[in-house]
Structure 1
């Protein structure tokens, strides 16, 4: 009986130590990610959740783990004996969160792949065919092999309204360049493929603070406008990501 109690105590101690290691890893990662002049775990979680979708996903879990951590660290009955011991499922979960925060995925992993893009000289019929086939509403546009902005379905509608005759529009002689004159400026960022998810969220957050709206982040090999897009991320893509870990 005593041997079993000692084994259970040892197992609990190991779980508690694993929990504390993972908790500290999350805390260190939050400091690096959120970067505010307040070191408190719960404050970093609260502020970070407003800026980053990943942190928002785990906000409730992390707040619970902060309370558990206080019980584990500050309410020891004696050295090596914890009044509160996390179960294996909790420990596994916080270790996975620590891994996500410490080594966030490359942004390309959540980007829309096989980006459909067009040249200034392309027929508008190519664009309408792409809208029908893919359901996309935004397309990077290239001029002289350099990305110059986005073409949106809303600007196509505006163009059609202005060029309608007898309830019809002749698309056969129209080109992307014709539509782009109706296109308002859509700020985009072009980044290299080694950028991570937190860094992409920062791009949207910084623009928001300046009262600007980034329409999309285009990922290329080295982050140059004259490179083909490998992926594209919109603010909506960030909201839709499922960061859940079992």
Structure 2
């Protein structure tokens, strides 16, 4: 027998409620709404779906408190509502991390390598940011803006005579703190918030650099740009 939408909704709701209890440590007598208030302080996914979760709380009350029989619910949620609450429950139970989605081989270059080498990588790999290193130490990101700034500061005869290194170009980056190292277990919603908050602060991030524990001296295992997050559902 196919379960009714109201039954599927309540099952997903109860699972979310248990997850909120685990997140907050709040006793059972606290309301679903109060648990959302507490959980959103710690969990980016709860913040992301706060409005929907509060609406689910109201719908749950309508289903439970207005039930007039064992097999009759006065409110039967639409399919789209049931699918949404089940989707949120799944994401909350099995949070997607940046390592899950963005772990990949990261192409880096040495600061002493030439701009020509960097431009070749940009052309072949379609990159907008290039992490550069010097003697195993992370230096920073070469960006399209940095390359344009370098070009703007050169005289025509200097461009044809000199072969600049990537470090030369990096010195023309107007904003050098345009990246942040993050740990591999960071949720994708927390990653999204980093980019949003950087814009609000007026210091837009170009990339999040993923290492196992978030340390800059660790091996890069992934990179996230704002464009990457726009491709997510």
Verify same fold: TM over 0.5: yes
Q: Residue in 2 aligned with 1:113?
A: 104
**More deviation, 204-213/230-239:** 204-213
Structure 1: runs of 5+ lacking an equivalent: 1-6
Q: Residue in 2 aligned with 1:24?
A: 14
CA distance in 1, matches of 2:152, 2:198: 32
CA distance in 1, matches of 2:138, 2:171: 16
Q: Residue in 2 aligned with 1:156?
A: 147
Q: Residue in 2 aligned with 1:4?
A: none
Instruction: Write the mapping of 1:75-224 to structure 2, written as runs, cut at 5 A.
Output: 75-79=66-70, 81-86=72-77, 91-111=82-102, 113-165=104-156, 169-170=159-160, 173-183=163-173, 184-204=175-195, 207=198, 210-224=201-215
How far is the alpha carbon of 1:99 from its aligned partner? 0.7
* Deviations 1:75-94, CA, capped at 9 Å, x for gaps: 11135532223477754552
Cα 1:53–1:135 shift into 2, 3 Å: farther
Q: State how many pairs are aligned.
A: 223
Q: Contact conserved, 2:32 with 2:57, CA < 8 A, in 1? A: no
Cα 1:172–1:22 shift into 2, 3 Å: farther
**More deviation, 173-182/137-146:** 137-146
Cα 1:181–1:199 shift into 2, 3 Å: same
Q: Contact conserved, 1:146 with 1:227, CA < 8 A, in 2? A: no
How far is the alpha carbon of 1:95 from its aligned partner? 2.1
* Deviations 1:19-53, CA, capped at 9 Å, x for gaps: 213123335657859xxxx96659959xx7xx968
CA distance in 2, matches of 1:122, 1:150: 14
Q: Tell me the SS of whatever aligns to 1:169.
A: helix
Q: Contact conserved, 2:210 with 2:223, CA < 8 A, in 1? A: yes
Q: Contact conserved, 2:45 with 2:92, CA < 8 A, in 1? A: no
RMSD of aligned alpha carbons: 3.8
Instruction: Tell me the TM-score normalised to structure 1 length.
Output: 0.71
Cα 1:157–1:212 shift into 2, 3 Å: closer
CA distance in 2, matches of 1:108, 1:216: 15
Q: Residue in 1 aligned with 2:27?
A: none
Q: Residue in 2 aligned with 1:74?
A: 65
CA distance in 1, matches of 2:230, 2:31: 27
* Residue among 212, 216, 225 paired with 1:225: 216
Q: Contact conserved, 1:104 with 1:198, CA < 8 A, in 2? A: no
Cα 1:171–1:143 shift into 2, 3 Å: farther
